[in-house]
Amino acid sequence: EAQVTQNPRYLITVTGKKLTVTCSQNMNHEYMSWYRQDPGLGLRQIYYSMNVEVTDKGDVPEGYKVSRKEKRNFPLILESPSPNQTSLYFCASSSGQVIYEQYFGPGTRLTVT
């Protein structure tokens, strides 16, 4: 089954404790992206990757890091989480260099206390 998986699905952590949210897709997609969703703000793009070893900033990259060492994986790293990073995070993937349709993961709900 074609899918995007994220782990963990739920995470409660404390300020400053480094964490990684994993994202994996099994569709051989070139494009992957991370979004955060906050009430009233819709989805905002954090980082995206057009292919392996190619990453770029979205609209809200501060406080986040990404890497794309393999085509299927695109982890999101929070080196020193803060409470304002409490949010619902989504990973998505798409084929090709023009984005026509994104496949979304189920989401990771992160709480930073």
What's the min distance (Å) between Cβ of 99 and other proteins? 5
> Site mask, other proteins, residues 50-89, x = CB under 8 A?
x-----x-xxx---------------------------x-
What's the min distance (Å) between Cβ of 25 and other proteins? 12
Nearer to other proteins, 30 or 77 (CB): 30
Nearer to other proteins, 1 or 101 (CB): 101
Backbone angles phi, psi at 108, to 5 degrees: -125, 120
CA distance 63 to 29: 26
Instruction: Name the DSSP letter for residue 16.
Output: T
Backbone angles phi, psi at 85, to 5 degrees: -95, 5
Site for other proteins in 14-53 (CB under 8 A): 31, 33, 35, 40-45, 48-50
Nearest in space to 29 (alpha carbons), one of 112, 95, 104, 99: 95
Tokens 């994220």 map to which residue?
Answer: 6
Contacts (Cβ under 8 Å, ≥6 apart) of 45: 33, 34, 35, 58, 59, 60
Nearer to other proteins, 98 or 113 (CB): 98
Residues that bind other proteins in the complex, under the rule CB under 8 A: 4, 31, 33, 35, 40-45, 48-50, 56, 58-60, 88, 90, 92, 98-107, 109
